């Protein structure tokens, strides 16, 4: 089984961009446990920072509103361009974007480490769970 | 084939957070997923100091599974130390961190110099149920907190019984055990419940001996204390309910603690006189209801199955049908417990089944001829089936849904009377 992982990095070595600040995503393709860099996707449109699109007076929870209004902000163009990925790795990620990714079944990992380390750990994890094996090392 | 087990009768090892909760001013710090504690918390009373809803929890998610949850654990503990005023912080690990291999012990070691003690217990669900989890917490206290005492306090006895909250009557039971031990002239020390806590934990090593009243839970803890703290132990496997067993219990403890035999006998005599006075007054009622329930079954954990069976046979002269032990008793203890069931008065023997599958238990109850209305003492799951059989039902083991118990108890002479009251209250309702 093959899948893609999107990485937010400005130097192609470390995960050093937040989801919001990333100007591009490096896409790695993992096929039969082998991980290869496949392409870079540039984010063309500037992201507007919209917390959510609900009327704060109605839902009474203007920041990161939860279950009451059901909206998690404008659909992000960035989420769209990585919508075929299984996971996205970046330094930090906001709550409303995380929710949008969740709806598309994309896992979000906010970590600060090298790309190699992150890819090693994530592919190890997916390899095991795809084969229904325990994560015990 | 994988088995689906509905109607669970115990929880996973992380349920040991109730053991921590029962120690006043001790707080569990959970290294687990966010749903674990929510599912495990019962509405059967909190510690009186901390609500179970504020237990600090690492709430680990997918990221922590992939990248490790150690960092989160570290911040959770350090922040818990800052914002929660507790005497003892017990980190409990759930399944996920144990599977992915978080080194909890290493994180805890960073807190050796913290102002308050921080210890940890491995309570992954795959390691066993909450009876095991309870043992793990006590083990953690022994291993990581207690040190051997230079001198002993004369007459001091640590009392250990079954699992708090899992045992509905835990608080009342342990207090009544304390009362009985005090009457012998000994000084009881327990760590659970009101006005007990860290100071009682600190007294543990000074005790002359440990008294364990449980068929199997905590036997391992007693052995550990014997080895590390040099405290010998007396293991009394039967929960003493009613006059016969309680007198036997007092004699045995008296003998172990070298209490003057005459003193023990006079205490017993005093209690028994009042006990049998009460029984005598209601002798008519017992005879009349005899027609209604000749045989009984207990469906409970080992302590109640054994304690109540002995009480109903030895004190009330009822005849045991099959008994069911539902706490997943470790194999090593099963033979020993079985032997206890064969050691009843009047040459009676009770057959006992170690079974956690309610379907099988209910089938057996239904197919048995109780020679009249059955008397079933069990968990709430047995209520419906007993009603179908027009029997008498009393909810004594977890889960308990038709009764509120604050500090009621079944231990001792008074406890036996309470149990009689409860059983015959059910029985007399048939007439009125």
B65 touches chain A (CB under 8 A): yes
Arithmetic mean of pLDDT, A92-117: 93
Above 80 in pLDDT, residue B4?
A: no
A71-89 pLDDT per residue, tens: 456 678 889 999 999 999 9
Which residues from B are below 8 Å from A108, CB to CB? 63
Q: Report phi then psi at B95, rounded to 5.
A: -65, -45
Arithmetic mean of pLDDT, B275-286: 90
Query: A35 by DSSP, 3-state: which?
Result: strand
Dist. CA B248–CA B234, nearest whole Å: 14
pLDDT score of B41: 75
DSSP A32: T
| Rg (chain A; Cα; Å) | 16
* B63 closest CB neighbour out of A110, A136, A137: A110
Q: Report phi then psi at B156, rounded to 5.
A: -75, 130
Above 70 in pLDDT, residue A66?
A: no
pLDDT score of A45: 66
pLDDT, greater one: A69 or B317: B317
Query: A51 by DSSP, 3-state: which?
Result: coil
Q: A-side interface with B, Cβ within 8 Å?
A: 107-111, 113, 118, 121-122, 125, 134-137
CA distance to partner chain A, nearest, from residue B32 (Å): 16
CA distance to partner chain A, nearest, from residue B99 (Å): 5
Do the chains contact at B62 and A110, CB–CB below 8 Å?
A: no
Above 60 in pLDDT, residue A50?
A: no
CA distance to partner chain B, nearest, from residue A83 (Å): 19
pLDDT score of B19: 92
Confidence of residue B44 (pLDDT cuts 50, 70, 90): low
Arithmetic mean of pLDDT, B358-367: 94
User: Cβ contacts of residue B431 below 8 Å, gap of 6+?
Assistant: none
DSSP, residue by residue, A117-137: HHHHHHHHHHHHHHTT-----
* Chain B (101-140) residues lying within 8 Å, Cβ to Cβ, of chain A: 101
Which residues from B are below 8 Å from A122, CB to CB? 66
B100 touches chain A (CB under 8 A): yes
| Long-range interactions of B279-287: CB distance < 8 A, separation 24+ | B279/B420, B282/B424, B285/B424, B285/B428, B286/B316, B286/B424
Degrees, nearest 5: CA angle B313-B315-B317: 45
pLDDT score of B47: 62
* A137 closest CB neighbour out of B63, B65, B101: B101
B120-144 pLDDT per residue, tens: 999 998 889 999 999 999 999 999 9
Dist. CA A101–CA A78, nearest whole Å: 10
Query: A7 by DSSP, 3-state: which?
Result: strand
Burial of B66: CB neighbours in 10 Å, binned 0-12, 13-18, 19+: buried
Nearest-CA residue of chain A relative to B71? A111
Query: A4 by DSSP, 3-state: which?
Result: strand
Count A/B contacts: CB-CB distance under 8 Å: 24
Burial of B112: CB neighbours in 10 Å, binned 0-12, 13-18, 19+: exposed
Confidence of residue A49 (pLDDT cuts 50, 70, 90): low
Which residues from A are below 8 Å from B99, CB to CB? 134-136
Dist. CA B49–CA B58, nearest whole Å: 21
Q: Mutating which of B60, B61, B62, B67 best tests the A interface, going by the most A Cβ atoms within 10 A?
A: B67
Confidence of residue B287 (pLDDT cuts 50, 70, 90): confident
Percentage of chain A surpassing pLDDT 70? 77
CA distance to partner chain A, nearest, from residue B62 (Å): 8
User: Cβ contacts of residue A132 below 8 Å, gap of 6+?
Assistant: none
* Chain B (31-60) residues lying within 8 Å, Cβ to Cβ, of chain A: none
Confidence of residue B403 (pLDDT cuts 50, 70, 90): confident
Give chain B as a 3 state SS string.
CCCCCCCCCCCEHHHHHHHHHCCCCEEEEEECCHHHHHHHCCCCCCCCCCCHHHCCECCCCHHHHHHCCHHHHHHHHHHHHHHCCCCEEEEEECHHHHHHCCCHHHHHHCCCCCCCCEEEEECCHHHCEHHHHHHHHHHHHHHHCCCCCCCCCCCEEEEECCCECCECCHHHHHHHHHHHHHHCCCEEECCCCCCCCHHHHHHHHHCCEEEEECCCCCHHHHHHHHHHHCCCEEEECCCCEHHHHHHHHHHHHHHHCCCCHHHHHHHHHHHHHHHHHHHHHCHHHHHHHHCCCCEEEEEECHHHHHHHHHHHHHHCCCEECCEEECCCCCHHHHHHHHHHHCCCHHHCCCCEEECCCHHHHHHHHHHCCCCCCCEEEECCCHHHHHHHCCCEEEECCCCCCCCCCCCCCCCHHHHHHHHHHHHHHHHHCCCC
Above 50 in pLDDT, residue A67?
A: no
Identify the sign of the CA torsion A113, A114, A115, A117: negative
What ipTM is given for this predicted complex?
Answer: 0.78
Arithmetic mean of pLDDT, B155-160: 96
Do the chains contact at B101 and A110, CB–CB below 8 Å?
A: no
B179-215 pLDDT per residue, tens: 999 999 999 999 999 999 999 999 999 999 999 999 9
Residue range A2-130 forms a domain whose CATH class is alpha beta
* B66 closest CB neighbour out of A125, A134, A136: A125
Which residues from B are below 8 Å from A107, CB to CB? 62
């Amino acid at each position: 089984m093959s899948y893609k992982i999107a990485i937010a990095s400005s130097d192609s070595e470390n995960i050093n961009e937040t989801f919001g600040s990333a100007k591009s995503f490096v896409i790695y393709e993992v096929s039969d446990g082998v991980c290869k860099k496949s392409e870079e996707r540039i984010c063309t449109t500037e992201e507007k920072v919209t917390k959510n699109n609900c009327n704060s007076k109605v839902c009474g929870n203007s920041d990161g509103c939860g279950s009451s209004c059901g909206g998690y902000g404008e659909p992000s163009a960035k989420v769209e361009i990585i919508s075929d990925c299984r996971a996205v790795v970046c330094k930090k990620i906001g709550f409303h974007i995380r929710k949008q990714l969740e709806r598309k079944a994309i896992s979000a990992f906010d970590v600060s480490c090298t790309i190699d380390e992150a890819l090693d750990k994530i592919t190890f994890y997916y390899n095991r769970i795809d084969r229904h094996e325990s994560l015990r090392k | 084939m994988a088995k689906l087990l509905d109607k669970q009768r115990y929880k996973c090892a992380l349920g040991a957070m109730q053991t921590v909760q029962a120690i006043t001013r001790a707080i569990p710090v959970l290294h687990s997923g966010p749903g674990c504690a929510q599912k495990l918390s019962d509405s059967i009373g909190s510690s009186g100091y901390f609500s179970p809803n504020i237990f600090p929890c690492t709430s680990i998610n997918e990221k922590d599974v992939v990248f490790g949850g150690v960092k989160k654990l570290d911040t959770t503990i350090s922040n818990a130390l800052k914002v929660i005023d507790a005497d003892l912080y017990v980190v409990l690990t759930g399944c996920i961190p144990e599977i992915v291999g978080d080194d909890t012990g290493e994180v805890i070691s960073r807190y050796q110099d913290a102002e308050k003690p921080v210890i940890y217990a491995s309570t992954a669900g795959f390691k066993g149920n909450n009876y095991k989890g309870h043992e793990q917490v006590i083990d953690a206290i022994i291993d990581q907190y207690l040190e051997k005492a230079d001198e002993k306090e004369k007459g001091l006895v640590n009392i250990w019984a079954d699992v708090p909250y899992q045992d509905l009557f835990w608080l009342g039971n342990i207090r009544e055990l304390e009362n009985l031990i005090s009457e012998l002239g000994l000084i009881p020390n327990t760590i659970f419940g009101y006005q007990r806590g860290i100071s009682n934990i600190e007294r543990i090593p000074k005790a002359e001996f440990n008294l364990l009243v449980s068929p199997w839970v905590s036997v391992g803890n007693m052995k550990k204390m014997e080895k590390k703290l040099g405290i010998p132990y007396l293991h009394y496997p039967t929960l003493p309910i009613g006059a016969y067993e309680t007198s036997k219990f007092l004699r045995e403890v008296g003998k172990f603690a070298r209490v003057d035999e005459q003193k023990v006998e006079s205490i017993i005599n005093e209690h028994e006189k009042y006990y049998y006075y009460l029984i005598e007054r209601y002798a008519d009622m017992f005879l009349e209801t005899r027609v209604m329930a000749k045989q009984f079954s207990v469906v409970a954990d080992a302590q109640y199955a054994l304690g109540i069976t002995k009480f109903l046979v030895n004190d009330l002269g009822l005849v045991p049908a099959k008994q069911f032990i539902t706490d997943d008793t470790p194999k090593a203890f099963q033979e020993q417990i079985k032997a206890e069931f064969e050691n009843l008065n009047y040459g009676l023997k009770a057959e006992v089944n170690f079974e956690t599958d309610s379907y099988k238990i209910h089938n057996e109850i239904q197919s048995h001829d109780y020679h009249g209305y059955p008397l079933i003492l069990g968990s709430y799951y047995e209520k419906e089936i007993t009603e179908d059989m027009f029997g008498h039902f009393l909810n004594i083991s977890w889960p308990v849904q038709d009764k509120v118990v604050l500090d009621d108890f079944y231990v001792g002479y008074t406890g036996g009377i309470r149990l009689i009251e409860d059983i015959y209250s059910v029985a007399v309702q048939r007439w009125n």
